[in-house]
Amino acid sequence: MGKNNTLINLSNISFSYPSKMNLLNDLSFTLRLGDRVGIIGPNGCGKTTLFYVIMGLIQPYEGHVEICGKIRVEEADFREVREKIGFLFQNSDDQLFCPSVREEVSFGPLNFGIDREEVKKAVKETLRDVDLEGFEVRPPYDLSGGEKRKLALATILVLKPKILLLDEPTIGLDEETVEKIIEILNEPDLSYIIISQNREFLKRTTDILYTINNGEMKEMNI
């Protein structure tokens, strides 16, 4: 962890796509331990791009990405970041690649060297949490949009990360599942950033709300 319990510190980040100049423009932002942050804003304002910068999926042209007290530059730095931060892609198809639901949810914990019996138990519990019991042998590509979303969430939650970046977690989810997700997010000890267009959901899960305006983070009223 960094100074003052800083988990993520972005300083003076700038990034453009060829078609979108100054998408992120001298953007600075800090996530501290226990912070629960929402980001809302127009389509195309750079929300997903911001997450990609934090996860090292794109490199900013300028500025520093500091995570858990270390400036992250190389791919190896970000591999460590991806172990610390549970990242939900906006599009579930970007997240799912295994032949069955069970393998999909087991993949992360097995990869981290967790004992097989323990993984089995965690997978069972997590599938119950997202209401996907009975789906274990189904191929992920056969699932409905909402079921894929639940599965993508399960692949993250099974690892019990303390830091979460969730890009539109409620898209396509039924009310009952949204309530379960709210319950999980309201557990203590979590720090997160949630991108969502769902204000009600953000009201119930976050304490501070931002938008991205002209490439910078601007605080908004919740």
Ligand X SMILES: Nc1ncnc2c1ncn2[C@@H]1O[C@H](COP(=O)(O)OP(=O)(O)OP(=O)(O)O)[C@@H](O)[C@H]1O
Least CB distance from residue 27 to Mg ion, whole Å?
16
Q: Which two tokens stand for residue 207?
A: 């304490």
Is residue 172 within 8 A of residue 145, CB to CB? The reply is yes
Distances (CA, A) of 128 to 41, 42, 125, 133, 222: 32, 34, 5, 5, 31
Which among 14-22, 43-51, 68-76, 104-112 is the span making contact with Mg ion, rule CB under 5 A? 43-51
Distances (CA, A) of 164 to 26, 33, 139: 24, 11, 26
Our CB check for Mg ion shows the closer of 6 and 48 to be 48
Q: Is 36 a residue that touches ligand X (CB under 6 A)?
A: no
| Binding residues for ligand X restricted to 71-110, rule: CB under 6 A | 90
Who contacts 126 (Cβ-Cβ below 8 Å, separation ≥6)? 105, 154, 157, 158
| Binding residues for Mg ion restricted to 71-90, rule: CB under 5 A | 90
CB closest to Mg ion, residue no: 48
Q: Is 45 a residue that touches ligand X (CB under 6 A)?
A: yes
| Binding residues for Mg ion restricted to 2-41, rule: CB under 5 A | none
Q: What angle do CA 76, 80, 83 make, to 5 degrees?
A: 140
Q: How many residues bind Mg ion (CB under 5 A)?
A: 3
**Number of neighbours of residue 21 by Cβ within 10 angstroms:** 9
Our CB check for ligand X shows the closer of 45 and 119 to be 45
Least CB distance from residue 169 to ligand X, whole Å?
13
| Binding residues for Mg ion restricted to 141-200, rule: CB under 5 A | none
Q: Of residues 1, 20, 139, 199, which one binds ligand X by CB under 6 A?
A: 20
80-111 CB burial, b ≥16 within 10 A, e <16: ebeeebbbbbbebeebbeeeebbbbbbbbbee
Q: Is 4 a residue that touches ligand X (CB under 6 A)?
A: no
Least CB distance from residue 21 to ligand X, whole Å?
10
Residues that bind ligand X (CB under 6 A): 17, 19-20, 23, 43-49, 90
